Amino acid sequence: MNDDFFDHLAQAVRHTVLAAVALVPPQARPHLAAIAREGVALLNSLADPTPRRRTPPSGPAASTSRSEPCV
């Protein structure tokens, strides 16, 4: 894929997170940080197709169960 695609995708992730920061309550911001990290990891994995082991999530968002709502 070309670099323009990844530049536009990175900007879309960045703007989505920035918009979400403006819209969500402060207690949900750790979840946004996790979303931003996952977005960056996704972009990096798409840009570099070399398989890597995934590291387990960390931080406040990692301690919540997937069945619990992100409130």
Q: How far apart are CA 6 and CA 63, in angstroms?
A: 30
Closest CA to 64 of 36, 38, 30: 30
What pLDDT score does 17 carry?
79
Which pTM does this prediction carry? 0.48
Give the distance between the most distant pair of CA atoms in the chain: 38
* Rg of the chain over all Cα atoms, to the nearest angstrom: 14
Q: How far apart are CA 21 and CA 43, in angstroms?
A: 20
Per-residue pLDDT of the chain (71 residues; tens, 9 = 90+): 567 887 888 888 788 878 888 888 888 888 888 888 888 888 788 777 666 666 666 666 555 545 454 54
Angstrom CA distances, 42 to 5, 13, 27, 35, stand at: 13, 10, 25, 10
